[in-house]
């Protein structure tokens, strides 16, 4: 096992923020992780599990031991019953995995094309886009307990998925009740997806309907939807390889119908969607945009011109003189304050701030 010291993390976070890991170990297999846990010096250290680095803001060097997940593998596990059960190693690129499932003839993930990051990080966030969330296609996952080295399997209910949320984002309770959170306690090794054999397209999003009308296609196949989603995302979201970013920086807030009515009084144009449970989801991008933030900057951290929900690193490049995590967070807090002052709502950041 190789413990790398003072490792530059700029290539390993999609914001391209300059920071170092004091120590980093690459985890390409269960054995690699067991070796870390068997080492008395390393096992005692606090640990940080790094996937594709597409949902983190680094505000300084990372002191916990960084476990960089590189576990490979993609395979069909089962094709009996109503689903194809497909498994991928946690270190696989999410987008490449989605493309592979389509090539193999297992549709169902196409609406989530081009989401940056790894397969192992996808359940943590319960990633989602264009009407499909990971939990809609999830079967189970295997994870290793970072204390005991024990491997266990979780089903969807045990993952407690919510909107951009799961059991992996919450700390365990220290009040003697049954531990509910797995934050910082496990490393996800493999994820299995249940992809329906009788496939139905998930359409209905305005951006997809526009593509259907423009291309004159009324019953698209999964590959067509995949191609449209790639084109839609390329048109409105910055490519992290070119402009550093971590996708949507804030969650879309959910409010009661009364709160929504109050916000409509403040601005009748507010973009909102009624949810099945009677609550209302507001478009955070619109709230930020209407406070005038689109295109603005703090230092080298900026609000993306085409989508105000995305914060970007304007200086990301080979010179290493990009935004600091501090600049990103100063900008994020200024946005939170102005949205709060205008609409009475505190936006909740999506990425993990380190
Ligand atoms: N809008 C504005 N101004 C802006 C940005 C958005 O007025 O600057 C308006 C849009 O016109 C639209 C509405 O806000 O009416 C919603 O915008 P969009 O369709 O771009 O979706 P979103 O709610 O901002 C969410 C997800 C994205 C996902 C898209 C499509 C969250 C936090 N974000 O964005 O996910 O790709 O829907 O399903 O739920 C991510 O999580 O990183 C992510 C990119």
Annotated catalytic, 164? Answer: yes
Q: Note the pTM of the prediction, 2 decimals.
A: 0.94
Residue 197 DSSP SS3: coil
Annotated catalytic, 350? Answer: yes
What whole-number distance in Å separates Cα of residue 351 and Cα of residue 354?
9
Whether 167 lines ligand 1, by a CB cut-off of 6 Å, is no
Annotated catalytic, 137? Answer: no
H/E element, 200 = none
What's the order of all strands across the beta sheet hosting 297-298?
A: 244-248, 310-313, 301-303, 297-298
CB 288 within 8 A of CB 21: no
For residue 174, give both structure tokens. 């220290």
For the CA of 247, the nearest atom of ligand 1? 42
CB 10 within 8 A of CB 320: yes
CB 169 within 8 A of CB 183: yes
- Count Cβ atoms within 10 A of the Cβ of residue 11 and give its class: 0-12 exposed, 13-18 middle, 19 or more buried: exposed
Helices (DSSP H) in the chain: which residue ranges? 30-38, 40-43, 94-104, 122-125, 134-137, 156-159, 206-215, 222-236, 257-266, 284-290, 325-343
Ligand 1 centroid distance, CA of 171 (Å): 28
H/E element, 8 = strand 4-8
Q: Euclidean distance between the first and final Cα of the chain, in Å?
A: 25
Burial 144-166 (b: 16+ CB within 10 A, else e): bebeeeebeebebeebbbeebbb
pLDDT per residue, tens digit, the chain (354 aa), is 899 999 999 999 999 999 999 999 999 999 999 999 999 999 999 999 999 999 999 999 999 999 999 999 999 999 978 999 999 999 999 999 999 999 999 999 999 999 999 999 999 999 999 999 999 999 999 999 999 999 999 999 999 999 999 999 998 876 655 457 999 999 999 999 999 999 999 998 999 999 999 999 999 999 999 999 999 999 999 999 999 999 999 999 999 999 999 999 999 999 999 999 999 999 999 999 999 999 999 999 999 999 999 999 999 655 567 999 999 999 999 999 999 999 999 999 999 999
What whole-number distance in Å separates Cα of residue 8 and Cα of residue 22?
9
Catalogue all structural domains in the chain, each as residue range(s) with its CATH number. 4-69 (3.30.43.10), 74-196 (3.30.465.10), 244-353 (3.90.78.10)
Whether 302 lines ligand 1, by a CB cut-off of 6 Å, is no
Q: Taking the CB of residue 182, how many other CB atoms lie within 10 A of it? A: 23
* pLDDT, tens digit (0-9, with 9 covering 90-100), for 223-281: 999 999 999 999 999 999 999 999 999 999 999 999 999 999 999 999 999 999 999 99
- What is the per-residue pLDDT for 321? 76
Ligand 1 centroid distance, CA of 282 (Å): 10
* pLDDT, tens digit (0-9, with 9 covering 90-100), for 150-187: 999 999 999 999 999 999 999 887 665 545 799 999 99
Ligand 1 centroid distance, CA of 324 (Å): 25
């Amino acid at each position: 096992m190789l413990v790398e010291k003072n490792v530059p993390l700029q290539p390993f976070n999609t914001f391209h923020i300059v920071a170092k890991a004091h120590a980093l170990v690459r985890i390409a297999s269960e054995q690699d992780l067991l070796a870390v846990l068997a080492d008395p010096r390393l096992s005692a250290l606090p640990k940080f599990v790094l996937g594709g680095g597409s949902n983190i803001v680094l505000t300084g060097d990372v002191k916990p031991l960084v476990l960089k997940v590189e576990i490979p593998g993609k395979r069909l596990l089962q094709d009996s019953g109503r689903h194809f059960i497909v498994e991928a190693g946690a270190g696989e690129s999410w987008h490449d995995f989605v493309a592979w499932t389509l090539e193999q003839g297992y549709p169902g993930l196409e609406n989530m094309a081009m989401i940056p990051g790894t397969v192992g990080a996808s359940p943590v966030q319960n990633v989602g886009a264009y009407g499909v969330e990971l939990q809609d296609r999830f079967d189970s996952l295997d994870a290793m307990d970072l204390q005991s080295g024990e491997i266990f399997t979780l089903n969807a209910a045990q993952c407690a998925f919510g909107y951009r949320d799961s059991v992996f984002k919450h700390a365990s309770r220290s009040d003697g009740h049954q531990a509910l959170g797995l934050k910082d306690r496990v490393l996800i090794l493999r994820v299995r997806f249940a992809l329906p054999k009788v496939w139905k397209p998930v359409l209905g999003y305005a951006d997809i309907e526009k593509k259907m009308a423009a291309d004159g296609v009324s019953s698209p196949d999964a590959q067509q939807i995949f191609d449209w989603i790639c084109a839609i995302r390329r048109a409105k979201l910055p490519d992290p390889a070119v402009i550093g970013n971590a996708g949507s920086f804030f969650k879309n807030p959910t409010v009661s119908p009364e709160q929504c009515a109050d916000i409509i009084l403040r601005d009748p144009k507010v973009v909102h969607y009624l949810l099945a449970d009677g609550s209302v989801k507001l478009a955070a991008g619109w709230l930020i945009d209407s406070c005038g933030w689109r295109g603005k900057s703090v230092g080298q951290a900026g609000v993306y011109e085409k989508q105000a929900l995305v914060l970007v690193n304007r200086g990301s490049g080979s010179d290493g003189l990009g935004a600091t995590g501090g600049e990103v967070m100063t900008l994020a807090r200024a946005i939170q304050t102005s949205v709060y002052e205008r609409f009475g709502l505190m936006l909740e950041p999506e990425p993990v701030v380190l």
